[in-house]
Structure 1
Amino acid sequence: MSTIKLSIVRGDAKQGSELVEYEVPFTEGSSLLDSIFWIREHVDPSLSVRYSCKSANACKECMALVDGKAGYLCSIRAKQNTNVTVMPLKGKPWLKDLTVEMD
């Protein structure tokens, strides 16, 4: 089975952060946001990520740092057998995990 490994920042400003690695089944055409949804459904429902495209038909809330570059998790495609580091945006107040305060 092909997989993708996501190293995701977990924690909050009060308790600090740690990088947690998750191995997710790879599905052709899936996004990094789809992989995070898989983690929330099958491993840890407490993983916090901001998004609105699946519920409010809006966009631009799932931005994070992916391997050090800012991008939308819904538009970055997962690539099989890769390791990806996902961190919250810098320069915005950090709330929890991948969630930052939006303007």
Structure 2
Amino acid sequence: MMPEATLVIRRGSPGETPRDEAFTVEFQPGASVLDVLRMLRVERDPTLTFRYACLNANACKECMMVVNGKVTYACTARVMEGTTTLEPLPNKELVRDLVTQIAPPDERF
């Protein structure tokens, strides 16, 4: 039996009651949270919403989220065997699922 990893993802939109949804995948040592999120969106749930822009690795700040209770980048956080919890950034306006408003509307170009 292959080792497994489960991502428990906080889902929802503004005005909805947030819900946690679990996705179990084959554990791949070294896979980033972003790698698994991208795979899940392509292979299992095209409605899964998260942000990333890997033009300048580790500098873009687009994939920032809460991973196992700590604010970090999904591109550098590694999925571990067992359960990994993912939540949107706290104290930011929720757009949907793991996407929050990073900059206030009057600061966007």
| TM-score (normalised: structure 1) | 0.90
- What is the SS of the residue equivalent to 2:12? strand
The structure carrying a bigger strand percent of its residues is: 1
- What is the SS of the residue equivalent to 2:42? helix
The number of residues matched between the two structures is: 99
Please give the alpha-carbon distance, in whole angstroms, between the structure 2 residues aligned to 1:2 and 1:37. Answer: 20
Letter in 2 for 1:40: R
Quote the offset at 1:93 in angstroms: 0.4
2:52 pairs with 1:51: yes
In structure 2, the residue matched to 1:92 is 92
Listed one character per residue, the Cα deviations across residues 46-82 of structure 1 (whole Å, up to 9, x for unaligned) are: 10001101xxx132110111111100010011122x1
Give the alignment of 1:28-39 within 5 angstroms.
28-39=29-40
Please give the alpha-carbon distance, in whole angstroms, between the structure 1 residues aligned to 2:16 and 2:90. Answer: 18
Q: Give RMSD over aligned pairs.
A: 1.0
Please give the alpha-carbon distance, in whole angstroms, between the structure 1 residues aligned to 2:10 and 2:37. Answer: 12
In structure 2, the residue matched to 1:101 is 101
Please give the alpha-carbon distance, in whole angstroms, between the structure 2 residues aligned to 1:70 and 1:102. Answer: 13
Please give the alpha-carbon distance, in whole angstroms, between the structure 2 residues aligned to 1:16 and 1:95. Answer: 13
List, as ranges, runs of 4+ consecutive aligned residues in structure 1 with deviation greater than 2 Å.
none
- What is the SS of the residue equivalent to 2:21? strand
Gaps of 5+ in 2: 104-109
Gaps of 5+ in 1: none
Q: Which structure has the bigger radius of gyration?
A: 2
